[in-house]
Amino acid sequence: MKIHVYNRQKDLPLNKLSAIELIRATLEYLGVCCSEVAVYFVSEKKICELHEQFFQDPSPTDCISFPIDDSYLGEIFVCPAAALSYAEKGGIDVYEETALYVVHGLLHLMGFDDLEEKARRIMRKKEKSCMRHLRAVKIFLRPRPAPKR
């Protein structure tokens, strides 16, 4: 399985390998077989542009998912700036919050939805299950390593 991770933001230093590991572990846990998936970590400006372009809503959001097909699962755009804001207000770890956005996006690619209450409850339960699994197997998003001197 090819997992493409692109870091196009500067708000939160991210270790690309930890993101790949998190995506792979989540897909394996969910029993998803696909040949490819892409995750883009983007700025608040970029997520607002995408939100406006595809959903006619210029406000910032945590993630946007574009399902493709069973083979190329799709693309997810995650906004770490949203996680920074939420984590600061809620006193939670920003890397865990960002990981939740990745999990949320993967679930959307699989067909989960959160527009109606019943579907939202099902999706939240699946998110919690995935996050518990990631904690149990000690797979986390991590900061980019410091440059070597």
Sign of CA dihedral 32, 60, 132, 140: positive
Looking at residue 144, what is its pLDDT? Answer: 81
Mean pLDDT by 10 residues, the chain (149 residues): 97 96 97 95 98 96 94 96 93 96 97 95 98 97 78
DSSP H or E stretch at residue 8 = strand 2-8
Find the CATH number of the domain harbouring 67.
3.40.390.30
Asked whether residue 74 is assigned to any structural domain, the reply reads yes
| pTM of the shown model | 0.95
Does residue 144 fall inside a structural domain?
Answer: no
Select from 82, 75, 74, 73 the least CA-distant residue to 101: 82
pLDDT (0 to 100) of residue 70: 81
Report yes or no on 147 lying in a domain.
no
Q: Quick check: is 97 in a domain?
A: yes
pLDDT score for 140:
93
142 inside domain: no
Question: Number of structural domains, the chain?
Answer: 1
Domain with 98, as residue range(s), is: 2-136
Is there a domain that residue 53 lies in?
yes
pLDDT of 119 reads 96
